[in-house]
Amino acid sequence: MAITTTKSAFWKGFRDSAPFLFMASPFGFLFGVLAAEAGLVVPEAFAFSLTVFAGAAQFTALQLMQENAPLIIILISALAVNLRMAMYSASLTPYLGDAPMWQRAIAAYFIVDQSYALSVVQFEQEPEMPLAQRVAYFFGTNGLITPAWVIATALGALVSTRIPESWGVDFVLPLAFLAMIGPMLRTPAHVAACFVAVAASLPASALPYNLGLIVAGIAGMVAGAQAELWLDRQKAKAEGAK
Amino acid sequence: MSSIPTPILWTVIIGLALGSYGLRFAFIGFMGGKPIPEWLMRHLRYTAVAIIPALVAPLVVWPAPTGGAPSLMHFSAAAATFAAGYLTRNVLIGLGTGGLCLLLLYLAA
């Protein structure tokens, strides 16, 4: 369906994002529950989700704060998880880069996995879409997700005070991370990055100040990048042989 | 569970808020139409898929609820979570499967 007006572009983004609600809301809720378990009060959990607005990085910071990791390690690790946002920012630039600065400044806050994935697909499918409609579509994809994420966090933190300690929620956070990994393994290079990071993290956990995480993370990142280069070369060779 | 000191918590929240915004704004705000170098993109693609497994692997091998003693129960629940998440490509199905598995093993033990 071709989009005709700026307004309808916004609402198309809004509608397209609806399925992601079933992902964002429970995860926001879980973050609220675990944040409260870790001792955060409702306004703190709420402020965390509202200002940082990045699930995986928030979970990472929460875990490391509970391990009493040094501040700098917490920040580096959680921001490393968020480095992909810079990549999203870069790949949205050809489509949104000509918008006025104030629009881009607001749009930057809303760059998350869902809004990026939906927008890039939409912009590639309809290359002739005018700039104003592209911006509207992008904001539309956040119309549901952002409020859902923040409100769900607050609700989770509210409910959490009523969950008994004995339920053993302290292993739920590791399980949440594990559940996030599967869908990330899209290519053999992603698998290589993950495998090397895991293999490095176990011996590296002996390092002080949670430095092992940084070391293993870098090892995995380099492994992924190298695997991608190697796979590309193999593919080029195979095509050259034809 | 030990609670997190308030100054640390707020430093983390503010630091992450500013840092995350900076990462998001970096290209769309500053770079204009300039392309990002390919080698940098190539590394950015693999940061999350490296950091999160590196964070979680020690938590699975030496789980906190047992005080760090390796536990077949926690390992099995972790394996089930990962497998379900990988096979269905759905985070919530993965988490649900693992949570259920942990609960059943806990009740059986």
- pLDDT for A2: 57
Nearest-CA distance B49 → chain A (Å):
6
- At A105, is the pLDDT very low, low, confident or very high (cuts 50, 70, 90)? very high
Contact A168 B16 (CB under 8 A): no
The residue-averaged pLDDT of A136-154 equals: 95
Between helix A42-52 and helix B6-25 the angle, nearest 10°, is 20
- pLDDT for B21: 95
- pLDDT for A166: 59
Cβ-Cβ contacts under 8 Å, A65 against chain B = 4, 8-9, 12
Q: What is the pLDDT of residues A24-78, one digit of tens each?
A: 888 899 999 999 988 899 999 999 999 999 988 999 999 999 888 999 999 999 9
Q: What is the pLDDT of residues B7-27, one digit of tens each?
A: 999 999 999 999 999 999 988
Residue A34 CB: number of other CB atoms within 10 A?
A: 24
Residue A172 CB: number of other CB atoms within 10 A?
A: 18
d(CA A61, CA A44): 14
Nearest-CA distance A183 → chain B (Å):
4
Higher pLDDT, B30 or A88: A88
- At B1, is the pLDDT very low, low, confident or very high (cuts 50, 70, 90)? very low
* Cα separation values, B6 from A44, A109, B10, Å: 10, 25, 6
Specify the pTM.
0.81
Contact A194 B86 (CB under 8 A): no
Q: What is the pLDDT of residues B15-72, one digit of tens each?
A: 999 999 999 998 888 765 566 788 888 888 898 899 889 989 999 999 988 888 999 9
Query: Of A39, A88, A108, which has the smallest distance from its Cβ to B1's Cβ?
Result: A39
Q: What is the pLDDT of residues A165-220, one digit of tens each?
A: 656 667 888 898 899 899 889 899 999 999 999 999 999 988 887 788 889 999 99
d(CA A168, CA A176): 14
- pLDDT for A1: 52
Q: Is the minimum CB–CB distance between A83 and chain B shorter than 8 Å?
A: yes
Q: Under a CB-based contact definition with an 8 Å cutoff, are residues A172 and B100 in contact?
A: no
Contact B56 A184 (CB under 8 A): no
Nearest-CA distance B84 → chain A (Å):
8
pLDDT, averaged across chain A: 89
- pLDDT for A140: 96
d(CA B30, CA B25): 7
SS3 content of chain B, % helix, strand, coil (to 5): 80, 0, 20
Q: Is the minimum CB–CB distance between A143 and chain B shorter than 8 Å?
A: no
Contact B50 A221 (CB under 8 A): yes
Phi and psi at B93, nearest 5°, equal: -65, -40
- pLDDT for B32: 59
- Of all residues in chain B, the one with the smallest CA distance to A63 is B55
Nearest-CA distance B91 → chain A (Å):
5
Contact A71 B11 (CB under 8 A): yes
